[in-house]
Chains A and B, each alone.
Chain A
Amino acid sequence: MMRYVIMLAGIAIGALVQLFLPAWPFFGGIKPPVLAALVLYYSLNRAPRDMWLAVFWAAVLHDGLDLGAFGPALLAFPVIGFLAHRIRFEIFVDGVVTQFIVGALGAVLAMLVMVLVYAITGQRPFHFGYTMLRLIGSGLLGMVTLPLVSFGVNKFEAALPKRRRCGWQ
């Protein structure tokens, strides 16, 4: 039980970090995808139940804190979580290069789903050039964010007391 609490609290802290990070005009005004990176991390490293819990909680936080209806993250995060979870035994999940690639692909995929949701629902205006900028920007930011998030969560978990039902060791 305690590990779930710690995981959910960690994701909530990740949401706060993403809230307070500045948007990057050169990357289409998007923010570093901390929540998407956390989803990828738990999908790559945890059992399905943990993964789905992380996906659902991160999506609820993202959509709850964002303007507009619930939906973009609730669609995007399960997609990237499911795909990452499927391939986790076929890749070196702790390799930095792997994390660069998975982080970039995951962030681009999440952004693509969000672009589609916003375009179809008409909540945001669609500009091809701006969308491409956002996709490229999200890839670059995701590439940087996932290794940093993985490093941070690993360090955090390593610092936890090694007790049953508390740490992951």
Chain B
Amino acid sequence: MLAFILPSSFSLKGKGAVRGVLAPAERGTSGLAQRLNEAAAAIRGIGGMVEKNRELAHELVRIQTELNTLRDAEAENVRLRRAFKFYRQRPETLIPCDVISRNISGWWNTVRVGKGSAAGIKTSHAVISPDGLVGKTVEVSKNTAEVLLVSDPAFRVSAKVDRVHTFGLVRGAGADLKGQPVARMDFINKDAKIKVGDEVVTSGLSGQSGAFPKGVHIGYIVNVHQDGSGLYQYAELAPSATVGLLDYVFAVSGQAAEGAP
């Protein structure tokens, strides 16, 4: 009865006081309820979420596979474009080959290419790639050819340091502990001013009937040493053309005509 007869201003003040006291508790309770509601919703939705998650995971795998396939195709496209451009630019007659396997024992640094005498490949022909000299053919069957890589100790090729036009003999030196191929250039004139980073190219003096073209990049000098006899100096090389199983290489089957670019 008293409450009804109080002025409205008092009534509002009282309500405000009560509400002000209870507001924090209300806010807390509301937050708790909201969290409980969310938790309940989450528990109710677990089955659906798992299903959704599985679908998304499958979708992700599918898209990832597609992406990998596209990346592979793109990388192969780039390799093939590069190889094709190289093929068109070289003046020699080149036979494109794909690498089909490596050496079985690890005793030799070789790869096998998928073309042989039927395609016109013969023994001791140079094998090159857009990166430079890969090696030479050593055992040729009708449909395959074994390529002795630049890094094999049995490999020899006449070469020159391009900057100073000094000749020498490049031979393979195996691989280092990281598996990177290593080569060595021997019999370099002791007075030649060669230095680390110089480019080494083929001299064109090796091979039967000019099967090793002139000016093919072999690698770069990474170290220079004086020969024990004091008559020559020798250099360690990092060959540029490393060959993987998916690479394309070219066997040189004929020399460029005189005056060709």
**What residues of chain A have their CB less than 8 Å away from a CB belonging to chain B?**
15, 18-20, 22-26, 28-31, 35, 62, 65-68, 72, 114, 118, 123-125
Residues of A within 8 A of B245 (CB): 20
Within the complex, what minimum Cβ distance (angstroms) separates A135 from chain B?
Answer: 13
Residue in B146, B175, B177 whose CB lies within 8 Å of A67? B146
B232 contacts the other chain (CB 8 A): no
Q: In the complex the two chains form, is A19's CB within 8 Å of B108's CB?
A: no
* Complex CA distance for A66 and B101, rounded to whole angstroms: 11
Minimum Cβ distance to chain A for residue B149 (Å): 11
Closest to A15 in B: B104
Say what secondary structure dominates the interface of chain B. Answer: loop
Across the interface, do A67 and B148 meet the contact criterion of CB distance under 8 Å? yes
Q: Which of B173-204 contact A (CB under 8 A)?
A: 174-179
Residue in B101, B107, B139, B153 with the greatest tally of chain A CB atoms within 10 Å: B107
Q: Is the CB of B108 within 8 A of A68?
A: yes
Jot down 27 A-B pairs with beta carbons below 8 A, ordered by A.
Answer: A20-B101, A22-B179, A23-B102, A23-B106, A23-B179, A25-B177, A28-B106, A29-B175, A30-B105, A31-B104, A31-B105, A31-B106, A62-B104, A62-B105, A65-B104, A66-B103, A66-B108, A67-B103, A67-B107, A67-B110, A68-B107, A68-B108, A72-B105, A72-B107, A118-B107, A124-B153, A125-B153
Q: How far is the CB of B247 from chain A (nearest CB, A)?
A: 15
Closest beta carbon of chain A to B104's beta carbon, Å: 4
Q: How many residues of B contact A (CB 8 A)?
A: 22
Q: How far is the CA of A31 from the CA of B101 in the complex (A)?
A: 14
Q: Which residues of B contact A25 (CB under 8 A)?
A: 175-179
Contacts from B to A (Cβ < 8 Å): 101-108, 110, 138-139, 146, 148, 153-154, 174-179, 245
> Nearest chain B CB to A76's CB is how many angstroms away?
11
Q: Which residues of B contact A125 (CB under 8 A)?
A: 153
Q: How far is the CA of A22 from the CA of B179 in the complex (A)?
A: 10
